[in-house]
């Protein structure tokens, strides 16, 4: 068992169509027994009735390490196809996003959930690198550079890549398919917290626990969105209007209780709100909290959003439908 798992990589759920051959062997880990079986052999198709569970949210798919790149290529082509057909079939994009996005949050184990989000980062990185990026190649190159740095880093350093993955998946799921917007939103996510590096270590460690902090730490934390922008400008990185709004406003709240400016309502950019949710989602997976399941904590997060008016109600409901 151990030896098998060492050669396999868990991947988020996706739609396995009966009539479409996959370019890789697909394995599945069975519930209860945890036994891993070959589910669909490379190149073969199946009759519909044989895989009625295929789109189940809790389906634990795996691929061999040797075929991981093939899997990433397959999923990227699927997504690029869906994006380019979006006008005709927004429902299909939403359904595809929902399977990938909901997988980590349906796990019982935080470790497995985190591994799935890491692997979502590989998928998003491949997707960004395969976008036809006429006119914004430099943004794309920067994304790939920072994504690679994050992927090979510590848990803390992987946070921005998790946020980028979750932001882009959520954005795709609510119908955003403009390629420049996606690359810029991804880059803003990768760089959103870079201003934290100017703060004392004790404050950095608590950066996502603003509500629980004292006055001094709060005052320091309020500086980091502008700090992130300042660092980027000092490094000569061109920051677009979208990136600026997302980075400056990622802790603002629709009801006006966020920071640093306390913006209210529609003045908080919708993509900053999406990134705010992605930031909270990664934080939710970063530590166990009172032994409650991931799903229970996810529901509590959205209940809090509703109660405290953190996210615009219509947007909140659309994002929520992608996660459950
Ligand atoms: Fe932040
Ligand atoms: Fe963050």
What's the gap between Cα 141 and its chain centre?
19
Q: What percent of the chain has pLDDT over 90?
A: 66
Cα–Cα distance for residue pair 321/153, rounded to 1 Å: 32
Cα–Cα distance for residue pair 246/261, rounded to 1 Å: 13
Tokens 């677009």 sit at which residue?
240
pLDDT tens per residue, range 65-81: 999 999 999 999 999 99
What is the β-pairing status of strands 8-11 and 60-64?
Answer: antiparallel
Statement to judge: residues 46 and 95 lie in one domain? no
On average, the pLDDT of the chain sits at 90
Q: Ligand 1 centre from 110 Cα, in Å?
A: 22
Whether pLDDT at 93 is above 60: yes
Whether pLDDT at 59 is above 80: no
Q: Ligand 2 centre from 262 Cα, in Å?
A: 18
Q: Are 161 and 117 in contact (CB under 8 A)?
A: no
Statement to judge: residues 49 and 129 lie in one domain? no
Statement to judge: residues 29 and 125 lie in one domain? no
Statement to judge: residues 42 and 103 lie in one domain? no
Which sign does the torsion angle of CA 170, 172, 174, 176 carry?
positive
**Assigned token pair, 26:** 């697909």
pLDDT tens per residue, range 23-45: 999 999 887 788 898 988 898 88
Q: What is the mean pLDDT of residues 146-161?
A: 90
Residue at a domain's end among 14, 40, 67 = 67
Statement to judge: residues 50 and 195 lie in one domain? no
> Which ligand number lies closest to the CA of residue 251?
1
pTM of the model: 0.93
Range of the domain at 48: 1-67
Protein residues within 5 Å, CB atom, of ion ligand 2: 193, 279
Whether pLDDT at 1 is above 50: no
**Assigned token pair, 180:** 């420049």
Look at residues 187, 64, 70, 171 and name the one whose alpha carbon lies nearest to residue 125: 187
Cis peptide before 198 (omega within 30 of 0): no
Look at residues 292, 228, 256 and name the one whose alpha carbon lies nearest to residue 284: 292
> Which ligand number lies closest to the CA of residue 282?
2
């Amino acid at each position: 068992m151990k030896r098998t798992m060492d050669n396999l990589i868990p991947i988020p759920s996706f739609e396995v169509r009966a009539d479409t051959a996959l370019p890789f062997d697909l394995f599945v880990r069975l519930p209860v027994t945890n036994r891993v079986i070959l589910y669909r052999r490379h190149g073969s198709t199946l009759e519909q009735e044989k895989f009625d569970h295929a789109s189940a949210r809790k389906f634990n798919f795996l691929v061999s390490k040797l075929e991981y790149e093939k899997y990433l290529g397959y999923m990227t082509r699927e997504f690029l196809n869906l994006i380019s057909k979006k006008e005709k079939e927004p429902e299909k994009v939403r359904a595809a996003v929902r399977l990938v996005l909901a997988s980590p949050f349906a796990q019982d184990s935080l470790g497995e959930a985190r591994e799935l989000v890491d692997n979502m980062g590989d998928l998003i990185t491949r997707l960004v690198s395969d976008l036809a990026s006429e006119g914004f190649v430099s943004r794309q190159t920067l994304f790939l550079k920072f994504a690679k740095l994050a992927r090979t880093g510590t848990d803390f350093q992987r946070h921005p890549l998790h946020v980028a993955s979750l932001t882009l998946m959520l954005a795709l799921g609510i119908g955003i398919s403009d390629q420049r917007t996606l690359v810029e939103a991804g880059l803003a996510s990768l760089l959103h917290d870079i201003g934290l590096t100017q703060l004392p270590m004790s404050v950095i460690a608590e950066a996502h626990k603003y509500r629980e902090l004292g006055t001094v730490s709060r005052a320091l934390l309020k500086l980091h969105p502008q700090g992130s922008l300042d660092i980027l400008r000092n490094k000569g990185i061109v920051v677009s209007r979208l990136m600026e709004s997302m980075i400056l406003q990622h802790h603002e709240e629709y009801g006006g209780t966020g920071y640093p400016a306390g913006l209210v309502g529609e003045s908080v950019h919708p993509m900053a709100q999406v990134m705010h949710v992605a930031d909270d989602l990664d934080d939710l997976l970063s530590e166990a909290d009172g032994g409650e399941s991931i799903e229970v904590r996810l529901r509590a997060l959205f209940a809090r959003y509703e109660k405290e008016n953190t996210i615009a109600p219509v947007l909140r409901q659309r994002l929520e439908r992608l996660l459950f």
